[in-house]
Amino acid sequence: MRYYQCDKYPIEFVVSENIDKHFNSHNHVGHYVISVVMQGTVTVCLENGEVACRRGDVFIMPPYAIHSVYQRSDARLLSMCVGSAFIDETDLETAEGIVKELLGDAEGQEIFRKEQGEKLLISVKKVYHLRDNGSKEMDAGIKILTDKITCYPEQELSIETLAADIFVSKYYLIRKFRNSVGMTPHQFCIQNRIRKSQRLLDEEKTISRIAAEMGFYDQSHFDKAFQRIVGISPSEYIHSKKHIGQST
């Protein structure tokens, strides 16, 4: 897997290749993810069923959309991750201009071909359509908890504590949380610990220190969770990252 980050805007390209991996049910809390199949077949499982996406197919995952992905080693997948705050704060025309410039830089580095970049650019408009039409509103109490876990996933928050925060029983919370988010509070917490860890790996901190800061038992525990969710180890992730759009 290869990661290409833009320092100025919350936009990242990910090329996933040479892996045989089933990414279990998860969501992307703060991002819209636009994916283009570059080669082979990628199987995407959504709430309403399973879809086999082949070369040239595009699929978009809005924030909180629960899904799983199965990718064989002969498949290549290109994804563009765009921060939801960027989409909320930037008008469509400006966003398309920024993405177009980043795509030009990425194509110049031969990260992907022009036709694949064009599919990503066209899909930006679809993202704004998804935003404007919106999905069902999340329960206010559950939203409070997801925001808290997303911001501070390293905190040890028991089910009892979370339930008390919104004045419900722990059994009701687990059922309501799973129905709203697609996973248990614990699974959601681990997912967001790893997402935050990815950001911390940009800083000059050791993997073992990040593992401790994020509440994992030890580095081995952290490595296994990271590999399961991201698809590669923390050290592989560090070495896979490059930057694009330095002048954008």
21, 71 in Cβ contact below 8 A? yes
Report which residue type is found at 139. Answer: D
Look at 23-32, 49-58, 102-111, 134-143 and tell me which has the smallest mean pLDDT.
134-143
In angstroms, how far apart are the furthest CA atoms of the chain?
55
228, 237 in Cβ contact below 8 A? no
What domains are there in the chain, each with its CATH number? Answer: 2-133 (2.60.120.10), 140-242 (1.10.10.60)
From residue 194, alpha-carbon distances to 9, 45, 120, 170 in Å are 21, 22, 26, 25
Residue pLDDT, tens place only, 151-174: 999 988 888 989 998 898 989 999
For 78, the 3-state DSSP assignment is strand
Residue pLDDT, tens place only, 211-236: 999 989 889 999 999 999 988 899 99
